[in-house]
Amino acid sequence: MELILAVVIAVVVAVAVTGGLVISGRKKKQLPPAEPPSTAPTITAPPAEPHVGDEAEAPREETRRTVEEVGLPETETAEATAEPEAPVVTEPEAPAAPAVEVPEPTAGRLVRLRARLSRSQNSLGKGLLTLLSREHLDEDTWEEIEETLLTADVGVAPTQELVERLRDRVKVLGTRTPEELRGLLREELVALLGPDLDRAVKTESPEDVPGVVMVVGVNGTGKTTTTGKLARVLVADGKSVVLGAADTFRAAAADQLQTWGDRVGARTVRGPEGGDPASIAYDAVKEGIAEKADVVLIDTAGRLHTKTGLMDELGKVKRVVEKHGPLDEVLLVLDATTGQNGLIQARVFAEVVAITGIVLTKLDGTAKGGIVIAVQRELGVPVKLIGLGEGPDDLAPFEPGAFVDALIGDPS
């Protein structure tokens, strides 16, 4: 019995030992001991720079694995690895062509601007009427009348002529009401201005070429501005115009003239600064003929320069232009405020080029309206245009009657 019990115990012990080994072996095979995790993150090396024709962007899956392994936020890596967008290049817009203006018609310009011109009456018109209205016109009064006329730049000879005529007519008139005196003074002033003179600007050539107008005068009188304003006058009257920027010795003169031309659609022919004025004038007339323009306006230099005298240069310009055809008009621009100095300038220019008309600028607000009479007497040519302000359409044809009415006041 004891022997059987010992055998059973031995069998049970043997079975238990064998089963433990089997279980232990399975556990070691299924669960191998894991290596402790490394504390250093695994960083994928950046891809090599692509060669020509290779894809520069890594596959998205590889990029995602790199993100997970490194532990960086996906958004940061996406920004770092995303290919930069090409900058958007915007073509600059071409500057818009300046709008061509429609100038104001010339008819009635002087009448519209009479209010400005009437500022001149304080010393001339009103002064004369006040003196003539005195009860007794003695010698002292007539001397004051003469001084008033001279101060207004009427000139010595015209002043003496006007005073003598006023003396005679006042004696015949007898009684002198304000209306009678005004009518008397108006008649005599209009007579001095030469109402029968031809004041039309000649812009039509007798030959089959454009009319050619040359504008002369010293710098500072408004010569280039007058040329531009005259272009507006001609365009307003329905004529096509070509401008010649022959004042090459004053900085920005050509730019200034071209700006005037662009505003009314007139072409400007110009050359390099300091270039030959005669050559530019010649090219301007040639261009006018090619374009079948109605008028060519030539702005000339107005100061002395280093190579040759101003007057010699003007004479050369005139001769070169006349190779194409006759020079139809030579306008002398004078500043009305310069008085007798303007007359000296007029004499010098008249010796070189045959002046055919006068343009008086800066006449608005001046107390020297008598310069109109003096310069006509000096040169024997009419004042054809007057500048009454800074506006682009403030150049007006000269009308003796309207001018005198502005000086002495129009009762109507």
The answer to whether residues 231 and 379 belong to one domain is yes
State whether 162 and 237 are in the same domain. no
Q: What pLDDT does residue 59 have? A: 42
| CATH code where residue 286 lies | 3.40.50.300
Alpha-carbon gap, residue 182 to 194, rounded angstroms? 19
User: Is 289 buried (19+), middle (13-18) or exposed (0-12) by CB count in 10 A?
Assistant: middle
Is 34 part of a structural domain of the chain?
no
> Between 96 and 329, where is the model more confident?
329
Q: Which of 373, 408, 387 is nearest to 122 (CA)?
A: 408
Q: What is the spatial distance between Cα 6 and Cα 23, in angstroms, rounded to a whole number?
A: 26
Same domain, 249 and 140: no
Average confidence (pLDDT) over 98-110:
69
- The reply to whether 188 and 226 lie within a common domain is no
User: If you average pLDDT over every residue of the chain, what do you get?
Assistant: 76
Task: Retrieve residue 72's tokens.
Answer: 């960086």
Residue 17 belongs to some domain of the structure: no
What is the arithmetic mean of pLDDT over 254-282?
92
Quick one: 145 and 284 in the same domain? no
Specify whether 218 is located in the same domain as 188. no
Domain boundary among 193, 221, 245: 193
Domain boundary among 193, 225, 245: 193
pLDDT single digits (tens) 114-146:
666 665 545 677 888 889 888 888 999 999 999
Q: Are residues 259 and 160 in the same domain?
A: no
pLDDT of residue 345: 82
Say which residues have a Cβ less than 8 Å from residue 405's Cβ, sequence separation at least 6. Answer: 114, 186
Q: Identify whether 64 is part of a domain.
A: no
Tell whether 30 is covered by a domain: no
Q: Is the pLDDT of residue 267 over 90?
A: yes
Q: Give 191's pLDDT tier (boundaries 50, 70, 90).
A: very high
Nearest to 215 by CA among 104, 115, 123, 327: 327
Together in a domain, 352 and 260: yes
- Domain of 388 in residue numbering reads as 211-399
Same domain, 270 and 188: no
Please tell me the total count of domains within the chain: 2
Range picked from 30-39, 78-87, 206-215 for highest mean pLDDT: 206-215
CATH code of the domain covering residue 154: 1.20.120.140
What is the model's pLDDT at position 68? 43
Last residue of a domain, which of 193, 223, 251?
193
Whether residue 198 is contained in a domain is answered as no
pTM of this prediction exceeds 0.85: no
| pLDDT value at residue 118 | 60
Higher pLDDT, 86 or 390: 390
Are 322 and 373 part of one and the same domain? yes
Q: Quick check: 306 pLDDT over 80? A: no
Closest CA to 297 of 268, 318, 326: 268
Residue 409 has pLDDT above 90, yes or no: no
Is position 61 within any domain?
A: no
172 & 228 share domain: no
Residue 167 lies inside a defined structural domain of this protein: yes
- pLDDT, tens only, 222-263: 899 999 999 999 998 899 999 999 998 887 899 999 999 999
Q: Most confidently modeled of 9-13, 167-171, 175-179?
A: 167-171
pLDDT digits (tens, 9 = 90+) for 347-371: 888 888 889 999 998 876 555 678 8
Q: How far is residue 202's CA from residue 354's CA, in Å, rounded to a whole number?
A: 14
How much of the chain exceeds pLDDT 70, in percent? 67
268 and 169 within one domain: no
**Does residue 49 lie in a domain region?**
no
